[in-house]
């Protein structure tokens, strides 16, 4: 059976977060997420409604955020990237929560065609990706959806990118790292907003703990 992925967006831009900040990237944004983060900036990707399915062209050319999506095979995705003339060789698979589905066929096909893959996930689902795929776990603690962060996801992470606005978020992260015995994985703190207080807390905590700062460069630049 051919796997079809529910794609909300597919576009080329600059990665603005984490270890690949500044990297030209093609974003594949999947529809669907039950985690329900209160500060999520892509809430339009949460629900999967059959009436929201649109054609691939309508998905690709929409001019505003919406919960519409298109079902694409791996072959469809590769053809769309080629047809659009995208030059980036780094693919970011995001959402929504992309780890809800088996991403191994997608990763393997992309890597066969010369792309590198990066997964952005909350760490609440078992990861089905290639061995080469760079995994960014952005752990969501005590969210409304009630999902637990999996030890397997934390141990697979190449980087941990933690949203932060309050001291409680710092305490949550430290407890999470201790619980899963995470020692050498690079940790990035990402202010939940561009507000001065959240950014100052992130900077202070990075210095105290030898973590790194991720400031969502794309938002400061005004790009997607």
56 in a known ligand binding site: no
For residue 176, what are the CA distances in angstroms to 139, 142, 143, 172?
9, 12, 14, 6
96 in a known ligand binding site: yes
DSSP labels for 72-108?
E-HHHHHHHHHHHT----EEEEESS-GGGS--HHHHH
85 in a known ligand binding site: no
32 in a known ligand binding site: no
29 in a known ligand binding site: yes
DSSP labels for 21-74?
TT-EEEEEEEP---S--TT-S-GGGS---GGGB--HHHHHH--S--S-BEEE-H
Give the residues across from 94 on adjacent strands.
29
Identify the sign of the CA torsion 17, 21, 24, 25: negative
166 in a known ligand binding site: no
The vertex-5 CA angle with 109 and 112, nearest 5°, equals 5
70 in a known ligand binding site: no
76 in a known ligand binding site: no
Q: How far apart are CA 35 and CA 1, in angstroms?
A: 28
212 in a known ligand binding site: no
39 in a known ligand binding site: yes
206 in a known ligand binding site: no
Task: Encode burial over 98-113: b for 16+ CB neighbours within 10 A, e otherwise.
Answer: bbbbebebbbbbbbee
* Residues that constitute the known binding site: 14-16, 29, 33, 37, 39-42, 94, 96, 138-140
* Residues that constitute the known binding site for [4Fe-4S] cluster: 33, 37, 40
* Residues that constitute the known binding site for Mg(2+): 42
* Residues that constitute the known binding site for S-adenosyl-L-methionine: 39-41, 96, 138-140
């Amino acid at each position: 059976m051919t796997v079809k992925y529910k794609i909300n967006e597919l576009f080329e831009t600059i990665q603005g977060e984490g270890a690949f900040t500044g990297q030209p990237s093609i974003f594949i944004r999947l529809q669907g997420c039950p985690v329900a983060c209160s500060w999520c900036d892509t809430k339009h990707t949460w629900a999967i409604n059959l009436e929201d399915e649109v054609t691939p062209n309508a998905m690709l050319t929409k001019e505003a955020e919406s919960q519409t999506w298109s079902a694409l095979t791996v072959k469809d995705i590769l053809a769309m990237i080629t047809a659009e003339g995208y030059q980036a060789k780094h693919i970011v698979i995001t959402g929504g929560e992309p780890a809800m589905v088996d991403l191994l066929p997608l990763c393997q096909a992309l890597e066969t065609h010369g792309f590198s893959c990066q997964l952005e996930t909350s760490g609440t689902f078992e990861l089905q990706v290639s061995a080469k795929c760079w995994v960014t776990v952005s752990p969501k603690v005590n969210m409304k959806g009630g999902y637990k962060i999996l030890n397997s996801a934390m141990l697979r992470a190449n980087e941990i990118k933690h949203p932060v606005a309050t001291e409680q978020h710092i305490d949550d992260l430290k407890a999470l790292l201790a619980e899963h015995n995470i020692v050498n994985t690079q940790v990035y703190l990402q202010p939940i907003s561009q507000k001065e207080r959240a950014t100052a807390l992130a900077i202070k905590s990075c210095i105290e703990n030898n973590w790194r700062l991720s400031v969502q460069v794309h938002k400061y630049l005004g790009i997607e």
